[in-house]
Amino acid sequence: MDEGLWIPITLFIVIGLVIFVLSFFRYKTRQATQKTIRLALEKGNGMTPELLASLTEPKHDVSRDLRRGLVSLSIGVGAALFGFILGEEDAVRPLIGLSMFPILIGIAYLVLWQLGQREKQS
């Protein structure tokens, strides 16, 4: 087998593994929440709709958008700078084009963070 073929194979295996692990931990968290609700109901404790909503709904932290935006921008700028540092004309344009995706995602997160700040002040 060609040695250069192992790099993309490994890349896809790692991406699949990361998705699997994240899904598994989300599943375990939901399972623990349901177990807690079930135990509370078996013991006769009253569950108000507000309590159920607070247990089941994900909490949205506005500062999370700021962190995600800054990280995405940093990845995009780093990829673009990497293209410039390489100095090869064949590598500069594709890396700049590829870096636009995380840059635009970062800008979107920063806009969401700014809108969340305005809602918080109102």
Same domain membership, residue 65 and residue 17: no
Question: Residue 19 above 90 pLDDT?
Answer: yes
How deeply is 40 buried, as exposed, middle or buried, from its count of CB atoms within 10 A (0-12, 13-18, 19+)?
A: middle
Question: pLDDT tens across 58-99, in order?
Answer: 666 768 889 999 999 999 999 999 988 888 888 888 889 999
Residue 2: what pLDDT? 75
Same domain membership, residue 120 and residue 102: yes
Residue 1: what pLDDT? 64
Residue 77: what pLDDT? 94
* Full-model pTM: 0.58
Q: What is the percentage of the chain residues whose pLDDT exceeds 70?
A: 95
Residue 18: what pLDDT? 94
Q: Mean per-residue pLDDT for 16-33?
A: 93
DSSP assignment of 44-55:
T----HHHHHHH
User: Where do we find the tokens 């963070």?
Assistant: 113
Task: Pick the last residue of a domain from 36, 59, 82.
Answer: 59
Same domain membership, residue 79 and residue 25: no
Domain that includes residue 65, residue range: 60-122
Question: pLDDT tens across 43-63, in order?
Answer: 887 777 777 777 777 666 768
